[in-house]
Structure 1
């Protein structure tokens, strides 16, 4: 039985290495500006709204395992509903003071929380230690795969130290006994609306949300302030540039750039492959980072042409960057550390081309799965891992 004074549970290696990396891929290629300064978030409803509904599939078995373990430990089997599921990352300067998760009136429905760490203190970020105000353990050092579960009330008041460097990434779930706050019913309704036509034959391509959801400024203010678009920033810190395939004026509104076809640039070279928009190329690049070690590239040939940038094309890229990355210094401060694994991956155009094909296969598989499982979810008004026969 849990400690009734401070009921909490810490489990090491609850998630596998590959589960952590898959969720990291989803977050870094789909996230938006979060609910507080220097925080980024990816919710399941956002994935559905941006035509990436299939990317909710990796969450489903993890949510089930977390809910089952939490109900077992706290003795509340079959009583809980998942109220919120989201990926949240904290970058330099973000922190949380002492609080309980239900200390705001509009969050009173939250009864339990589960926080899964997707990367590790020391290796991926500095700072960001988790502390409980009372009870044991008093402090938790986040390590990839570990999970902490606790009651979302005054018995588990907690805080998070300021992030000094890097990006601290978590999968966070809240649970409620109040069925009116069940996340599943809302998500199933959204899925039903967004999957009316059959997309099983071709991969589903992402569609960006509104521009302000991707615009980061130091004060989280108006889009007119200095700042950067996080999609472009995540690519630039990895050593990539983006070339607009269409001959557009870089004085255009940033929102227009989100939906324009683009090409990927590395140094002085450009891949002729055209991506439908910035989110499309961002997903492929982060898929490459996730799967680089398993991609079959040794005997591969590049079926896409690589061209040298002209001076005019370089000027056009620089002009675009001055708009979407209007404060390069802020980019460097926020994304102040690239993981050692990302740096150690030896760039190869063959790898990128192989990643494009592998990403399409991965996406197609998830699309088939969600189309097969959605009828069961609609019937039970619950999202669970359906064992569908071939």
Structure 2
């Protein structure tokens, strides 16, 4: 075990740029309101529950590599279980004072903590600097791909400065020696249950959770007449609107609308392509953001003239009514998500041809992951562990 009063390990560039951007895509297309004010989270159990279990696959090799590093550094090979895996982002106003990660009775099973930074201080957010109370290094400036590993007990008390602007995104894991807190057992139970209900024609289409999981309210406010739906907001800050059919559906409840088919609009144009629900649309849009540079070099995709039409006056009114339903404060949505990495390029360079190409690319992306889950699940069940299964020819 590492000989130190404050055992910790810093790994620079441990995660590749691609891995960081892929996890960012997953989080920004699947996250819910988090466990603390001004925080958003994406857990593996939530991905499974919303029929996005295929998006668990990118986590698998990363979890394995991190577990090996933790066991090697602390000299506890084959002793640890992953207790929690999740993507967590902090927005303006989020902070936490001095604490250890096992500072509650229900957290005492946590032995080791791992924090992976997925974006950069200064470029993507301001504030959010990590401090250790004692030991070296005393301060961590978040940098994409960097990993911080430390004991979850009082030897590594730490704090995080308040986020001033932007969204600070991390992959967080906790490890435990207690097998009763093994996350894999819980995830396998959910995956097995989910596989029994995959009767949809296209079974990788996401299904939104309940509306309250997506409703963001600033800080500790509890006013139902404030805040916004984060799925709508992440589309809104990229310059996109949603439209349901028939147009009078804007009188419906949000919980009903989240699962209804919709179309996307931008400015005075409407794409005549239907998405299964708002989560489906959001995943494709965030995929478009992630792959924007690749799409610039792809073969031009012709969009039929009939596929992009001008919005009618009644459709524009419906979009306006929907905005008032999905957001009680547009300015707040801009404040929280307005510094989106691809926001400026979306506003300046967006075109429907590239977006339609992204729809097909998204399907090509999720299909192998979905098949990978289906192939791996029998092996995972047998071992009661989630691991990277090597198949012939892969």
Q: Which residue of 2 aligns with 1:162?
A: 162
Question: How far apart, CA to CA, are the structure 2 residues paired with 1:223 and 1:51?
Answer: 31
**Could you tell me whether the CA contact under 8 Å between 2:237 and 2:343 is conserved in 1?**
no
**Deviation for aligned residue 1:333:** 2.2
Deviation at residue 202 of structure 1 after TM alignment: 3.7
Residue of structure 2 in register with 1:383 after alignment:
386
Match in the other structure for 1:187: 187
Deviation at 1:116, TM superposition (A): 0.3
1:7 aligns with 2:10: no
1:319 maps to what in 2? 321
Equivalent in the alignment of 2:339: 337
Distance in 2 (alpha carbons) for counterparts of 1:175 and 1:83: 5
Change (3 A) 1:72 1:42: same
Contact kept, 8 Å, 2:33 with 2:215, in 1: the verdict is yes
Q: Please give the residue correspondences for 1:51-200 in structure 2 after superposition, counting only pairs within 5 Å.
A: 51-196=51-196
Question: What are the Cα deviations for residues 32-51 of structure 1, in whole angstroms up to 9, with x where unaligned?
Answer: 00001100000000000000
1:356 aligns with 2:359: yes
Partner of 1:374: 377
SS of equivalent to 2:196: coil
In structure 2, what is the Cα distance between the partners aligned to 1:313 and 1:3? 66
Please state how far the C-alpha of 1:220 moved relative to its aligned partner. Answer: 5.0
Change (3 A) 1:24 1:177: same
Aligned CA distance change for structure 1 residues 207 and 221 (closer, same or farther; 3 Å): farther
Shift of 1:311: 1.3
Partner of 2:44: 44
TM-score by length of 2: 0.95
Give the number of equivalent residue pairs: 389
Which position in structure 2 is the counterpart of 1:302? 303
Deviation, structure 1 residue 223: 6.9
Distance 1:133 1:81, change over 3 A: same
Of residues 88-97 and 210-219 in structure 1, the stretch that sits farther from structure 2 once superposed is 210-219
Deviations 1:243-293 (A, max 9, x none): 112333423221111011110111111110000110000000000011121
Task: List gaps (5 residues or longer) in structure 2.
Answer: none
Quote the Cα distance in structure 1 between the aligned partners of 2:247 and 2:335.
Answer: 32
Alignment check: 8 A CA contact 2:51 2:203 kept: no
Partner secondary structure for residue 4 of structure 2: coil
Note the 1:270-289 alignment, pairs <5 A: 270-289=270-289
Larger mean Cα displacement after TM superposition, 3-12 or 327-336? 327-336
Aligned to 1:226: 226
Separation (CA, whole Å) in 2 of partners of 1:21 and 1:342: 15
1:17 to 1:199, Cα distance in 2 relative to 1, 3 A: farther
CA pair 22-200 structure 1, distance change in 2 beyond 3 A: farther
| Aligned 8 A contact 2:227 2:328 in 1 | yes
- SS of structure 2 residue aligned to 1:248: helix
Q: Specify the SS of the correspondent of 1:379.
A: helix
TM-score (norm 1): 0.96
Stretches of 4+ aligned residues off by more than 3 angstroms: 197-203, 219-223
Equivalent residue of 2:248, what SS?
coil
C-alpha distance in structure 2 between counterparts of 1:83 and 1:65, whole Å: 15
How big is the shift at 1:197?
A: 5.5
Q: Cα RMSD (Å) of the superposition?
A: 1.6
Q: How far off is 1:331 after superposition?
A: 1.1
Using the TM superposition, give the Cα deviation of residue 241 of structure 1 relative to its aligned residue in structure 2, in angstroms.
Answer: 0.6
1:155-180: CA deviations, max 9, x gaps?
00000000000000000000000000
After superposition, the C-alpha distances for 1:287-320 in whole angstroms (9 at most, x for unaligned) are 0011121135443212571001111111110000
Change (3 A) 1:333 1:198: closer
For the residues of structure 2 that align with 1:328 and 1:259, how far apart are their CA atoms?
22
Q: 2 CA distance for matches of 1:48 and 1:376?
A: 18
TM-fit CA distance, 1:388: 1.3
The alpha-carbon distance between structure 1 residues 256 and 223, as it changes in their structure 2 partners (threshold 3 A), is farther
Asked if the contact 2:90–2:163 (Cα under 8 Å) also holds between the matched residues in 1, the reply is yes
